A and B are shown apart, each in its own frame.
Chain A
Amino acid sequence: MIRSFLRKLMVELALPLILFGLLYALSADSTNFYFPSLAAVLEKFNGLWLGPRFFSDVIPSFQRLMAGYLIASILGTAIGIVIGGHAGVRRAAEPVLEFFRAVPPVAMIPLLIMSMGFGDAMKITVIVAGAIWPILLNTVEGVKAADSVLDDTCRTYQIKGLARLWHFILPAASPQIIVGMRLGLSIGIVLMVISEMFAALDGLGSAIIYFQRSYEIPQMWSGVLMLGLFGFGLSMAFRLFEHHVLGWYYGMRDLERKS
């Protein structure tokens, strides 16, 4: 048992270790100004991101992302349920939604700067404006595709209002809502970084662009590394959340496949 676990671990770690080693060895005596050795980058990483910068940049970024992402999730699900539940509203709203979804949210940054300034409110709005669409549209699809037999059953038993929402609509649409939330999270991270690159005193995006502009190249690459780990960590956290929320659904699907 321990042996098979070790073997599995080895399989998982083999390629990353080889690639890391290769990169480390090949860049070891790099004299290229733009592409310093991995050792130099890691040294800066250690000093910067495992030190004060973690609290002065990573945490503010994370807070902005979470604020925007939570607002987008709640708003997107709420509006999606309303639109998905009414065929008339859906028909009227769909072309508008198609358009708004297609507008690159980054394009709104300059417009939002004009009306909201450079503060956190602008950045959170940008994150909401980008992350809400996949969540909203997937919720609409999920609500639309809810099982009609269950819908009739609810009606027969006069299950209405909040009870219907909580016991029928939300569970029925949740796999689709989660798909939307996963897409929304990666868009949210991108927008967090870009809005900070435009206008911020702190945050991962502003730190990276600051290092790049002042030609502190190893520091810049260490920031890129930090951003990569940031994205990786959040996607891992989301997977845990997904398995927690949708565990019942995956179990049911596996049972169905077996039968």
Chain B
Amino acid sequence: MIVAASNGLAGNDAVPRMTPAARDRAFDTATITRWLGSMIGILLLAALWEIAPRAGWLNRDFFPPLSVVLGRLSVLVATEEFWGFVASTIRTCVLGLAIAAIAGVLMGLAIGLTPGARKYTHSTIEFLRPIPSVALIPGVILLFGARYQSGVVLITYAAFWQVLLQMLYGLNDIDSVARDTARTFRFSRFGYVRHVAWPTLLPYLFTGLRLAAAMALVLAVTAEMVIGSQGVGRGIVVAQASNATPEAYAYVLVAGLMGVAINMAARLLERRLLQWHPSVRNAGGAR
């Protein structure tokens, strides 16, 4: 139970991980059966989506069969508007996350390296953090209207707290021997941050960013749907308003695939940039 419990808090995210043993078998025949096993779920779902509306279990007007949605999607993919929507949504997400990462790191370092600052900021952070970022929607409408900056602000607000919190956790985790060594050698403040704090903080930063990335897409789509800026969310709303149900489903499908892609990209980037870090190395590079 203790193992389960400590594991529980360490892995804050709910991403399934490959064990080292699983990687050793990477080119085994077992892999193929595993792969087939993992495809069964997708195939079953696809079959259900196709059959249920056709058999009349679900109303076809509200749940078009998968083939109809995919047919509509193949038409959409050929249009310039579609790729414009996708690019716009991705830009909003990336910009928001990047700004939040920079602001979160700077703020985290400022609070972490100023003696006593954490004590005084604690209550303020704990108060501001749970404020839902959608509370900012009316404010950003007044400031930016239906421009993409609206979404960027929402994402930045939501992601900033994730990053800042991870930074503060990370600063707690700095090896005291390394800290004392740096002091003995009279590291400058910059040198301390660069050579002692930064390597410890980087994995924490990525955990924060990965948690924030999932939320970023939700907020980007929200901004597009509620405020009306360009993007996939706008595609859904317009399609629904014009009773083009298959098109609405096609855009939702695309939004889901973008989410999967963002999750995968975040994990890949983390593995690449943190190759040297024990947490990645010990897991056989598969984190």
Residues of A that sit less than 8 Å from B by CB:
11-16, 19, 34, 88, 91-96, 98-111, 113-115, 130, 133-134, 137-138, 140-142, 145-147, 150, 171-173, 175-176, 179-180, 186-187, 189-190, 193-194, 197-198, 205, 208-209, 211-212, 217, 220-221, 223-224, 227-228, 231-232, 234-235, 249, 252-253, 256
In the complex, the chain B residue whose C-beta lies closest to that of A89 is B41
Stretch of B9-17, B97-105, B181-189, B275-283 contacting A (4+ beta carbons < 8 Å)? B9-17
B41 partner residues in chain A, CB cutoff 8 A: 91-96
Of the listed residues B14, B59, B135, the one surrounded by the most CB atoms of chain A closer than 10 A to its CB is: B14
Given contacts A92-B38, A93-B41, contact A224 B139 (CB under 8 A): yes
Main secondary structure, interface of B, reads helix
Main secondary structure, interface of A, reads helix
In the complex, the chain B residue whose C-beta lies closest to that of A233 is B130
In the complex, the chain A residue whose C-beta lies closest to that of B127 is A232
Cross-chain pairs A/B with CB under 8 angstroms, 26 sampled: A12-B123, A13-B123, A15-B123, A92-B37, A92-B38, A95-B41, A103-B252, A110-B225, A115-B59, A141-B16, A142-B8, A145-B3, A145-B8, A146-B1, A172-B1, A172-B5, A173-B4, A187-B215, A189-B132, A190-B134, A193-B135, A208-B135, A209-B137, A221-B138, A228-B132, A253-B5
Residues of B that sit less than 8 Å from A by CB:
1-9, 11-12, 14, 16, 34, 37-42, 44-45, 59, 61-63, 119-124, 127, 129-139, 141-143, 214-215, 217-218, 221-222, 225-226, 232-233, 236-237, 239-240, 245, 248-249, 251-252, 255-260, 262-263
Q: How far is the CA of A101 from the CA of B260 in the complex (A)?
A: 8
Q: How far is the CA of A106 from the CA of B143 in the complex (A)?
A: 23
Q: Are B135 and A179 in contact (CB under 8 A)?
A: no
Q: Are A171 and B1 in contact (CB under 8 A)?
A: yes
Q: Are A235 and B130 in contact (CB under 8 A)?
A: yes
Task: Point out the residue from B120, B218, B233 that lies within 8 Å of A11, measured CB to CB.
Answer: B120
Q: Are A231 and B4 in contact (CB under 8 A)?
A: no
A133 partner residues in chain B, CB cutoff 8 A: 14
Q: How far is the CA of A195 from the CA of B283 in the complex (A)?
A: 41
Q: How far is the CA of A179 from the CA of B263 in the complex (A)?
A: 19
In the complex, the chain A residue whose C-beta lies closest to that of B133 is A190
Q: How far is the CB of A241 from chain B (nearest CB, A)?
A: 14
Q: How far is the CA of A104 from the CA of B4 in the complex (A)?
A: 30
Task: Point out the residue from B8, B14, B134 that lies within 8 Å of A137, measured CB to CB.
Answer: B14
Q: How far is the CA of A142 from the CA of B136 in the complex (A)?
A: 34
Q: How far is the CA of A94 from the CA of B9 in the complex (A)?
A: 21
Q: Are A102 and B225 in contact (CB under 8 A)?
A: no
B236 partner residues in chain A, CB cutoff 8 A: 107, 110
B132 partner residues in chain A, CB cutoff 8 A: 186, 189-190, 193, 227-228, 231
Q: How far is the CA of A100 from the CA of B49 in the complex (A)?
A: 14
9 closest Cβ contacts across the A-B interface?
A: A102-B259, A137-B14, A103-B256, A110-B240, A176-B8, A235-B130, A175-B8, A92-B41, A115-B62
Q: How far is the CA of A145 from the CA of B7 in the complex (A)?
A: 7
Q: Are A141 and B240 in contact (CB under 8 A)?
A: no
